[in-house]
Structure 1
């Protein structure tokens, strides 16, 4: 089954069942930290339900939102492979359920199951490509366009239509989190969202945003002028 954005999941059902069989279920509430930056990599999490944000702290105290992750994605697998401290903090954006697998069990599975190891490699490769693309866009596009592109990507990957309204896509993210993901200040994000609201493409709620006209917003973001 494809994800909401049309992409094919990295882990087929048989791989997910392998991970579940070697782990145990666990749950977290909104705001709970699943993993701390700098922590020991003793386990990873297969996310089953809900969304989390992945953040990193810079030396000047600025928090960057590196990614938002959803169901059927792995959290903390890289540190479990190389044994180095966690490179980011993972926090629940809403009530979350997942399967916790110890690092030892995970490494053993990768040794025993070549197809699973290849799927993990594909997942890591795709995340690296996404990271490279975002870095390129940060230098190429004005902040308002970056905000629009990040919001669209989150909406298509993880957004859900509210009850009774099949078209709009709701994203559970705050303005500060969107600023970190887009590489912009919160003030810049406020101005960008004000513009997008005026066009009727975005609506705001408490701790969430709604992309009300995804096709129009995507067309505008695609045609926006690139920096010289």
Structure 2
């Protein structure tokens, strides 16, 4: 599973500087084009970062979970939000006003360095995804997105042993992999036939994370 980007002390600093909030599934935490009034530290739940294209296609740029920040880039440069953040399930978190967040970074070098590392990691991830779009077929891209989600945000389930539940819809999976929903349906069927994924009670389960990673490396 992923390593949280902030120490407990850094999380406490942000909690003390902000206020608790909650969002319903489907509710926007941040809206593309809005002013950077605050930064949100996710406490529980998953959030998708999305951007709407002029033709109506929605790209899923990332999925964020507990211990991660939303909106820090706009807070740092003062420019409007470049994407929206939407709750994929009920979400709780802490909203820190932009001015307070910037003062925290000025006063606590460790926190500022942690934020910088997070931003650098996200830029690397974005570069890799752009490279994947032109280098790999849709099936490989879908497999890679599933592996990333399973490793970062997957929830272990007792049956089948070793499986990880991934909270993602077919539409969001298509948006994250840069393909159509119809292609995702076909790819998931192929992955199911390979024994790598399955669906149980409406949840997508990665039954063999290592095998899926190997499949996505072909």
Q: What is the TM-score of this pair, normalised by structure 2? A: 0.96
Change (3 A) 1:105 1:207: farther
Change (3 A) 1:102 1:123: same
Change (3 A) 1:138 1:207: farther
Give the structure 1 partner of residue 215 of structure 2.
220
1:173 aligns with 2:168: yes
- The structural deviation recorded for 1:164 is 5.3
Residue 43 of structure 2: which of 48, 72, 75 is its match? 48
Q: Secondary structure at the match of 1:110?
A: helix
Give the structure 1 partner of residue 198 of structure 2.
203
1:162 aligns with 2:157: yes
- The structural deviation recorded for 1:151 is 0.5
Give the structure 2 partner of residue 11 of structure 1.
6
Distance 2:203 2:80 in 1: 31
Distance 2:41 2:143 in 1: 29
Superposed, 1:3-42 pairs within 5 Å as 4-5=1-2, 8-42=3-37
Distance 2:26 2:107 in 1: 36
Change (3 A) 1:207 1:109: farther
Q: What is the TM-score of this pair, normalised by structure 1? A: 0.92
1:73 aligns with 2:68: yes
Distance 1:130 1:32 in 2: 25
Change (3 A) 1:207 1:54: farther
Give the structure 1 partner of residue 107 of structure 2.
112
Matched residues, number: 218
- The structural deviation recorded for 1:208 is 3.6
Whether the 8 Å CA contact 2:45–2:66 is kept in 1: the answer is yes
1:133 aligns with 2:119: no
- The structural deviation recorded for 1:166 is 4.5
- The structural deviation recorded for 1:10 is 2.0
Q: Specify every segment of 5 or more residues in structure 1 that has no aligned partner in the other structure, as ranges.
A: none
Give the structure 2 partner of residue 144 of structure 1.
139
Name the Cα RMSD after superposition: 1.4
Distance 1:184 1:107 in 2: 38
Whether the 8 Å CA contact 2:143–2:215 is kept in 1: the answer is no
